[in-house]
Amino acid sequence: MRLTAVSGFLISMGLAAWGTAAGQAAPAADGADSPVADGALALKLAPDSESAAGVTAPVKRAADSEPAVPKFSDAQLARVRGWMLELAPSCPPAALASAAQHFLEELQWQQPDSLERLLTDRISASDFESMLLRHLAVPLTAAPQAALREELARQRVQVVLAHTGGMAVSTPQAAAGLIEKLKGTSQASYRRLLEGRIEDEDLVPLLTDARQAGTVSAQLAPAKPKELTAADIMAEFSRRNQKDLALDHMRAYTIEGTLTDADGKQQRLLLFKLRPDRFRLHVLVGDRTRYILSADGTQFWQEVPGGRPQVVSRESLGGRIYLSEFVNPLFGEMEGYAFKRVEDGTLDGRKIYRISVLRADGSHYMAGIDAENFQEVSEEYTGDIRVRYSDFREVAGLTVAFREETSDAKGHKDVFVLARFTANPGLVQEFFETKPHDLNFFAFEHLAAGASVATSAPALSAASATTPLSASAPAPASIKP
């Protein structure tokens, strides 16, 4: 799998034409050629507006995935926190605050009329009990909170039973029994329930199947293999490609690598990312920065040597805007994304699950997940653009692809080789903004030139440290595939 596409975005950025798209030409460094020659691959990830008919309901939300946090009144937040506190008196205040915020965001998105009536006596906690319990579970990620997560899951199943006719008696014992059956039939679905990452519309049929699983004689017929849904595959993908809650603990990361185009020309790429949607990309030829592209959460901007940062529009960026995706959408962290399993395929003789990923803006691509190890090994884009991921290694509890190959219909192939991945380097919001900050453009030139040296890593920030790949990795500070 990949945390965030590198070659899929960076190789295809049309770097040579970037200055034209943004209304400013990027000057060459000491007569060097433009970052990517004219014959390089064209922009590959421009939004695709093909129909999304038949796509499953989108994953609604996960913590830290919002591009901008809507503002709600203190009274609205207080009322929701009060409802949640009644349901979970022992819930930590920080978790209550986060859950209330995200509950209101979903309410604003799905039921705006209910949001307007929130402070009236025409609406009560019972109208949203399952939804409240689901949002309460999301921020409870610490190990000591496991018992509370299980209790919230039991309460939620009991509420669903009470509102679903003909399923079962709505009692704590009935709810606990169904959860145990669900745990036995589908570990992935059980985890999604505990983590608050399953909607009622998906939970009801799972509970129905779990109830029936204990009533049918095993002698009637052998059980048919379960047909995995897109949600099942994504849940297993998330489980296989991280240890415990590694992704939840990652607030920022940096990537350094080398991009080689079809003509053999190379660039060095430094990518800095911060939750929820900040990024800063430095494109270098030799030791000279050609330009910087960044997003601060509200706008995109670029900077070239000798110039000041300039704001650029989303329209001029095309597929580059998806550099703001903090992690792979297959982890299910981002709102408004929909996923559908389509016909399986093969890659190098191995079966792959193919998942259609539809973004909220209408663009989409096809993800290929190895059916045995659940690593994302390929992506397909409109125009016969294909990305292949390989050389998988463990970094900070996450599985990361250290090699990406992008090819097009004409046979051009570009390769990105990741040299260093640094988890939680201590980045701050100011680093992604257009206003001046301590690490100025020219100071970074010096830092970037020595970034491959182990001793230079701490210069990124006081808290920066390169995370070892694994116990068998050749060098924790400077990783060379």
pLDDT tens digit string along 416-451?
Answer: 999 999 999 988 888 888 764 444 444 454 444 443
- The whole-model pTM stands at 0.55
Does the pLDDT value for residue 350 go beyond 90? Answer: yes
pLDDT at 451: 38
Residue 389: Cβ within 10 Å count:
24
What the block records as the tokens of 142 is: 């610490």
- Ranking 113-127, 160-174, 250-264, 429-443 by mean pLDDT, the lowest is 429-443
- Please classify residue 109 by burial: count the beta carbons closer than 10 Å to its beta carbon, then call 0-12 exposed, 13-18 middle and 19+ buried: middle
pLDDT at 277: 92
Rounded Cα distance between 429 and 419, Å, is 25
Does the pLDDT value for residue 137 go beyond 70? Answer: yes
pLDDT tens digit string along 378-420?
Answer: 999 988 899 999 999 999 999 999 999 999 988 899 999 999 9
The answer to whether residues 240 and 328 touch, using CB atoms and an 8 Å cutoff, is: no
pLDDT at 59: 38
Does the pLDDT value for residue 113 go beyond 50? Answer: yes
pLDDT at 398: 92
Where do runs of H (alpha helix) occur along 25-138? 74-87, 93-110, 112-116, 129-137
Q: How confident is the model at residue 271 (pLDDT cuts 50, 70, 90)?
A: very high
Structural domains for the chain:
7-47+245-460 (2.50.20.10), 74-213 (no CATH)
Q: Round the average pLDDT of the chain to a whole number and report it.
A: 75
Q: How confident is the model at residue 100 (pLDDT cuts 50, 70, 90)?
A: very high
Long-range contacts of 363-371 (CB under 8 A, 24+ apart): 363/45, 363/46, 363/47, 363/48, 363/49, 363/319, 363/322, 364/48, 364/50, 364/52, 365/45, 365/48, 366/342, 367/330, 369/1, 369/233, 369/237, 369/330, 371/344
pLDDT at 368: 97
pLDDT at 142: 81
Q: How far is CA 397 from CA 101, 142, 239, 240, 248, in A?
A: 29, 16, 11, 10, 11
For the chain, give the percent of residues with pLDDT over 90. 38
Q: How confident is the model at residue 207 (pLDDT cuts 50, 70, 90)?
A: confident
Phi-psi region of 166 (alpha: psi -120 to 50; beta: other; left: phi over 0): left
Give φ, ψ of 142 to 5 degrees: -75, 150
Q: Which has the closest alpha carbon to 327: 288, 279, 293, 295? A: 279
- Ranking 7-16, 370-379, 405-414, 462-471 by mean pLDDT, the lowest is 462-471
Strand partners, 282: 270, 292
Does the pLDDT value for residue 472 go beyond 80? Answer: no
Q: Where are the beta strands (DSSP E) in 359-481?
A: 364-370, 376-381, 385-395, 398-407, 413-423
Angle (nearest 5°) at CA 420 between 418 and 425: 135
